[in-house]
Amino acid sequence: MSRPTVASLAGLTAPLFVFIWATGFVAARYVVPYADPLTFVALRVIAVAAVLGAIAMVMGARWPADARGWRDALISGVLMQGLYVAGVFWAVNRGLPAGIMALVGSLQPLLTAVLAGPLLGERVSPRRRLGIAAGFVGAGLVLAPKLGAADASGIPLGPLCVGLAAMVAMTLGTLWQKRTAAGADLVTNAAIQFVGAALLTAPLALALEAGRFEIGPPLLLGMAWSVLINSVAGILLLLWLIRRGAVAGVASLLFLVPPVAAGIAYVLFGESLSPVQFAGMAIAAAGVAIASRG
């Protein structure tokens, strides 16, 4: 039997990475009965920062040499790991279906493409404009039929707005990261980002919530999955794929995150989408693929 090649391993790892990314939205729904969302997120990001910091120390990874490097990573963390993750967990906790939140999150590349021109000076090609338009049309088909509906499959307006705001925060964090972190070590940069997220979410949780955290097997399982699988394993898999030059394959497969998340949420929680919504999800995924290509 021949040994597996690097290419074949990358081909197996990329779908695994997508599955892990999709379960992040499902985890937000899973912990709803057991913990306040901001409290859960605060404890999660503190744990992830500690684990990644330990990994960076063992690896002998390079930390920022000056205050500017630390500042830039902290700002990225506040936006990408703080506001975004907290917004996702809060919105899902307040009734936004996990599959819908995954779709909202998948629009981030479209908004990045829209803002890349004025903020980064990048040219927006006609193909990318077409992808942006298709992505938002598809998202509209998913959201419009159930927006504000009172039944269990409805999309509550308030949590949807928070989810959209979280996606905007992720977009701004991505653009900031692109401008400031070109030469940063990926592991230490990620560790500092989670420190920034902790500096935001811990005070918010203390100020706005009662600190409900019902310690038991379900919540501990959710925390372990969120910390070790969603965050640490996801980041390490991504780093492995980057080093193997498989980033394009990951980017293509990420368009499958919303339907994968919707499918898992249907099996675990009974969340369902109508045929029109599934069609809109497919159109949105195609739009993101077109806009992100290249």
Of 66-75, 80-89, 244-253, 277-286, minimum mean pLDDT range: 244-253
Hey, what are 67's tokens?
Answer: 């205050």
For residue range 80-109, what is the model confidence (pLDDT) as tens digits?
Answer: 999 999 999 999 999 998 888 988 887 887
pLDDT score of 106:
79
DSSP 8-state class, residue 183? T
On the question of pLDDT at 293 being above 70, the answer is no
pLDDT score of 2:
46
For residue range 208-247, what is the model confidence (pLDDT) as tens digits?
Answer: 999 999 999 999 999 999 999 998 888 777 767 666 655 5
pLDDT score of 1:
45
- Average pLDDT rounded to a whole number, residues 103-124: 74
Domain regions of the chain by residue span = 6-292
pLDDT score of 185:
87
**Residues of the chain with pLDDT > 70: what percent?**
82
